[in-house]
């Protein structure tokens, strides 16, 4: 091994040469793990919908009704956010 070949090595190469490696940060192992967990959730939800005891049109109707109920509940609870407020808003002069 020559001095020129040592200059061309990066930190990981030098550490590997002596039998060590850099420590992985939390983001390097946490983000892929969270992505796999999210993917598993989506696959599980899809399988759950496919294996539901109701026919598809009934299940879709129930889901639609629940989502509409949630949407209406949010509009009633937070009318200023929906843009459909009936109160007049004061304007800045």
Q: Residue 60: inside a domain, yes or no?
A: yes
Looking at the 3D structure of the chain, how many domains does it have? 1
End-to-end CA distance of the chain: 77
- Domain interval for residue 67: 54-78
Report if residue 72 sits inside a domain.
Answer: yes
pTM to 2 decimal places: 0.40
Structure-token match 């940060």, residue found:
25
pLDDT tens digits for range 38-78: 999 999 988 887 787 888 788 888 888 888 988 888 888 88
Please tell me the distance from the alpha carbon of residue 75 to that of residue 81, in angstroms, as a whole number. Answer: 8
Asked if residue 70 is part of any domain, the answer here is yes
Would you put residue 71 in left (φ > 0), alpha (ψ -120 to 50) or beta?
alpha
């Amino acid at each position: 091994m020559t001095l020129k070949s040592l200059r061309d090595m990066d930190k990981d190469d030098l550490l590997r040469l002596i039998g060590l490696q850099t420590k992985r940060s939390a983001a390097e192992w946490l983000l892929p793990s969270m992505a796999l967990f999210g993917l598993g959730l989506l696959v599980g939800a899809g399988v759950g919908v496919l294996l539901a005891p109701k026919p598809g049109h009934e299940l879709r109707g129930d889901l639609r009704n629940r989502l509409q109920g949630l949407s209406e509940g949010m509009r009633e609870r937070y009318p200023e956010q929906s843009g459909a407020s009936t109160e007049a808003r004061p304007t800045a002069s």
